[in-house]
Structures are given as structure tokens and as C-alpha cells.
């Protein structure tokens, strides 16, 4: 096994999520975002449907996202402080990538759950690619993905707002992750 | 950006699927299957639910899978030749990994589609890890995942048989994959 492959696997095994408060400038460049999208498109995709698309929020567009987050907080009766925290959530992150699913519920061959699995593979490969490029990130969802104003800002009819990947340069050392036990997950099929 | 990272990203971008007829011995060892499972567990998993498990079919257990595949073909009125092809599908692959989803439809926080996305991330990272270890593989599903005898062989009540990842050593050179165009998938959020 070539050494580089062991190293690549190590990167895959050590990747973990960092949220907005641990992400600093710079975020991925446009050229890197295009590579990251290529990685997303390498997830297994039954029927070659590409059942997702990505919308990058960066630079000045973050103010528009901040307005949407703040308005969401206000409509949910949050305190002034919580509204301000929601605003800063959008502003502090160098690059946010909205994940939009395009699930064809009436596809004759590919079940909806297989399309969702492809969306999840894309999310995973985006996070893998960010990590391999020296960035960190985290997939976020929660109540905001069901907010009509946010859905209207990101989705066409029939699309689903899955959430956001926040991305940037890690502002603290990545801590070593303890490995999860595999024995609850992995078993062998008996010969008879 | 360290050179090893560029190489890792390249491995992610060049990974593609190879089916059973292009897979030779050996398949991944038990130690490697445990690493591959670790990679599966690094997919983003809202609520830390691990909504999947893996069952490895290798060595003599392949005969039991071959019996199940052949019986499926017979019950679907396939020709003798097709039944024999179904048998050999199970026997020719060094290692097959059944993917079983455990979706909690009544989870108070994590929507079913987020759990499916985690299953898809696990599948993607299994294929990534196989590629980085020098193996190849492919995710397969189709009519057999809805077969009651196969479901009974692999699933507990409430679980879903998602399909199988076939895995082994590539028996032909990996062809260069052309990059998919990203412009249909990737766009930028307007500032206003």
C-alpha cells in the first residue's frame, strides 16, 4: 500500500466537525469550492440524478443571510441578545454552503431514500474535501431549515433546504478524536 | 497546503465504482474492514444516532448469499442462465458488505431524511476508504433489497436493507474519469 494512501485514509479517519465560533478567515476560494463540488459529485448516485445543489454565501451576501437569521429569531420571540447571536452566526463564518436537495419522489427506479443517501454522500465528501484542503466545517440544520422565509430565499418549488455547511480555517488545534467502537456496527454473515 | 493533502483530495476526486466482474482477490482484511467501519462512522451524524450497521459476507458465507440470490431469481421466473449468473454474482466478489439502515421515524429532533443522509455518508466513506486502501467497490441495490427472504436474512424488525457494497482488488486499470460540470450544481447567493 503506497504511503500516500495511508495518509489519505488517516485524513478521512481524523476529520471532524468544527462550528462557526472555531472558524476563521480565509475560507475556501472559488477554485477550491469548485473542487469541493467535484468531490460532492463523486458520492455514489444511483441513476446519476445529482439530487442536490449548493449555494455559496460569502462576502457581502452574508448580510442577507444575517437578516434572514435575525428575522427568524424575531418571529420566534427570541430576546434581543439571541437575535444578535443569530445575526453573528451568519456573519462570523467565512463561507457558508447551503445544501438544497432535489428529490424526485416519483422516480420509477431510484427510491427517495437512495436519493437522500446521495445527498448525504455529497455532504460527507464536501466535509472530507474541506478537511483535505486544510479547512474545517460543520453541517448544521435545526428549526431554520423549516422556516418559510429561508426556504423561499434558497429553494425552488419541490426542493428541500437540508441545511448549511459552515467552512473556514480552524482557529484552534484539532483535538484528537477517540475512535468510536465498531463492534456495535460491524458483524459477519454466518456461513449457514 | 501540504503535498499529502493535495494527494488525498486527488484520491477523493478520482474514486469511482467498479462492479463485481472487475473485482479480484484479495478483498479487505478484517483489520481493514474495521478501519473502513471507522471511516463510515466519520460521516456527519446529527444526534449521534449511527443509523446503520454493516454485515460482511466473505469466504464460505458467500455460498449462503449465493443461495439467497439464486432463490430470488427462481421466484422471479428467471431462466436457468440468469439464476446461475445471480449465484456467481455472490460468489465472485471477495468481500460484500450489506448496508442495513436503522431509521428512527419518530425521533423528536432528527428528521428521517437527515438519518438517510448519514447512511449515505457512511456508504460514501466506505467507498472512499476502500479506494484509499487500494481496493475498489460499488454500491448495489435494485429489486433484491425488497425481497422478503433477503430482508429476513439481514434485517431485524424496523431495519431497511439498503443494498450491498461489493469490494475487492481492481482487476483492470482504473480509467481516468472525466470531471462532471459543476455549474449546474454550484451557484452563489446574491448580496441582495
State the pLDDT at residue A176. 61
Q: Which among B41, B63, B123 has CB closest to A117?
A: B123
Q: Is A134 left (phi over 0), alpha (psi -120 to 50) or beta?
A: left
Residue B117 at interface with chain A, using a CB cutoff of 8 Å: yes
Q: Which among A33, A184, A188 has CB closest to B56?
A: A188
Q: Which among A118, A132, A188 has CB closest to B12?
A: A132
CB contact under 8 Å between B133 and A56, yes or no, is no
- Scanning every residue of chain B, which has its alpha carbon at the shortest distance from the alpha carbon of A102? B185
DSSP B146: G
CB contact under 8 Å between B133 and A9, yes or no, is yes
Q: Which among A1, A50, A113 has CB closest to B133?
A: A1
Report the gap between the CA of B8 and the closest CA in chain A (Å).
Answer: 5
Residue A46 at interface with chain B, using a CB cutoff of 8 Å: yes
Q: Across the 192 residues of chain B, what is the mean pLDDT of every consecutive 10-residue run? A: 68 90 96 96 95 98 97 95 94 97 96 98 97 95 95 97 97 75 94 82
DSSP reduced 3-state for B21: helix
State the pLDDT at residue B180. 82
Q: Following CA atoms A58, B45, A68, A119 in sequence, which dihedral angle do they give, to the nearest 10 degrees?
A: 70
R_g of chain A, CA atoms, integer Å: 18
Find, among B92, B135, B13, the residue nearest to A41 by Cα. Answer: B13
Other CB atoms within 10 Å distance of the CB of residue B190: 11
Q: pLDDT tens for residues A3-23? A: 347 888 988 998 889 999 999
CB contact under 8 Å between A61 and B191, yes or no, is yes
Residue A56 at interface with chain B, using a CB cutoff of 8 Å: yes
Contacts of A86 (CB under 8 A, 6+ apart): A66, A69, A70, A72, A73, A78
Residue B18 at interface with chain A, using a CB cutoff of 8 Å: no
Q: Which among B6, B60, B134 has CB closest to A191?
A: B60
- Distance separating alpha carbons of residues B61 and A80, to the nearest angstrom: 62
State the pLDDT at residue A173. 77
Residue B82: all three cell numbers together: 440468469
Residue B192 at interface with chain A, using a CB cutoff of 8 Å: yes
Residue A190: all three cell numbers together: 454466518
Find, among B169, B184, B84, B183, the residue nearest to B131 by Cα. Answer: B169
ipTM of the complex: 0.95
Residue B60 at interface with chain A, using a CB cutoff of 8 Å: yes
Residue A90 at interface with chain B, using a CB cutoff of 8 Å: no
Residue A159 at interface with chain B, using a CB cutoff of 8 Å: no
Residue A15 at interface with chain B, using a CB cutoff of 8 Å: yes
The model's pTM is 0.95
One-letter-per-residue 3-state SS of A80-113: HHHHHHHHHHHHCCCEEEEEEECCCCCCCCCCHH
Q: Which among B116, B124, B153 has CB closest to A44?
A: B124
Reading chain A (192 residues) residue by residue, the pLDDT tens digits are: 433 478 889 889 988 899 999 999 999 999 999 999 999 999 999 999 999 999 999 999 999 999 999 999 999 999 999 999 999 999 999 999 999 999 999 999 999 999 999 999 999 999 999 999 999 999 999 999 999 999 999 999 999 999 999 999 999 877 666 678 899 999 999 987
Report the gap between the CA of B135 and the closest CA in chain A (Å).
Answer: 10
Check: CB of residue B70 under 8 Å from CB of residue B83: yes
CB contact under 8 Å between B113 and A38, yes or no, is no
CB contact under 8 Å between B5 and A17, yes or no, is no
Amino acid at each position: 500500500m503506497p504511503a500516500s494512501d495511508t495518509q489519505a485514509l488517516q485524513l478521512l479517519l481524523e476529520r471532524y466537525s468544527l462550528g462557526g465560533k472555531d472558524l476563521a478567515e480565509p475560507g475556501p476560494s472559488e477554485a477550491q469550492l469548485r473542487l469541493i463540488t467535484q468531490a460532492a459529485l463523486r458520492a455514489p448516485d444511483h441513476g446519476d440524478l445529482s439530487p442536490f445543489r449548493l449555494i455559496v454565501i460569502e462576502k457581502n451576501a452574508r448580510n442577507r443571510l444575517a437578516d434572514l437569521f435575525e428575522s427568524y429569531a424575531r418571529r420566534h420571540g427570541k430576546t434581543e441578545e439571541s437575535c444578535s447571536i443569530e445575526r453573528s452566526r451568519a456573519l462570523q463564518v467565512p463561507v457558508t454552503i447551503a445544501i438544497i436537495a432535489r428529490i424526485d419522489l416519483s422516480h420509477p427506479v431510484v427510491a427517495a431514500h437512495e436519493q437522500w443517501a446521495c445527498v448525504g454522500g455529497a455532504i460527507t465528501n464536501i466535509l472530507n474535501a474541506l478537511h483535505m484542503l486544510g479547512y474545517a466545517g460543520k453541517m448544521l440544520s435545526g428549526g431554520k431549515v423549516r422556516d418559510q422565509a429561508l426556504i423561499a430565499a434558497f429553494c425552488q418549488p419541490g426542493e428541500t433546504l437540508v441545511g448549511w455547511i459552515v467552512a473556514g480555517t480552524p482557529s484552534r488545534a484539532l483535538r484528537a478524536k477517540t475512535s468510536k467502537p465498531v463492534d456495535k456496527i460491524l458483524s459477519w454473515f454466518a456461513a449457514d
